[in-house]
Amino acid sequence: MACDGEQVLEYKVDDTLPAIACTYKQIDPITGKRTPINITGYSFRLDIGFTVPESVTGSIVGDPANGEFIFEYTIGASELKEVGKPRTEILITDNVGYKITYDFVKFDIKARIIP
């Protein structure tokens, strides 16, 4: 899955795959094109608004200059546990400590046919 704009990611309760791949980009004021930001030293956290909120830590993928990071769920720690459409936020902290929060990724978690 990708987090490249406002979208709804559909899962079933207890899913731990697929991971969510993201690219952090900025808009070039001259060309208007979105280009990747070098994320060396950045940290990423996906907060999920379950009844008891949960967080998944992101990891940089490959060359940090490409701006790519990923959120991977952990068995026994970060399964998608509740049916519904929980609020989500991605908190990005840069290498100096400045923070920005995005909420453009939406979940729609459904019940399993056989639990």
User: Has residue 1 got a pLDDT over 50?
Assistant: no
Average pLDDT over residues 20-26: 89
Strand partners, 55: 47
Distance CA 49, CA 47 (A): 7
pTM of the model: 0.83
Residue-level pLDDT at 111: 92
pLDDT (tens digit, 9 = 90+) per residue, 81-109? 889 999 889 999 999 999 999 887 888 99
CA 1 to chain centre: 9
Residue-level pLDDT at 68: 94
Q: Which residues have CB under 8 Å from 31's CB, separation 6+? A: none
Reported as a pLDDT band with limits 50, 70 and 90, residue 80 is confident
pLDDT (tens digit, 9 = 90+) per residue, 33-78? 888 999 999 999 999 898 888 889 999 998 999 999 999 887 766 6
Length of the chain: 115
- For residue 39, the tally of other CB atoms under 10 A from its CB is 24
User: Has residue 2 got a pLDDT over 60?
Assistant: no
Angle at 56 between CA 51 and CA 57, to 5 degrees: 150
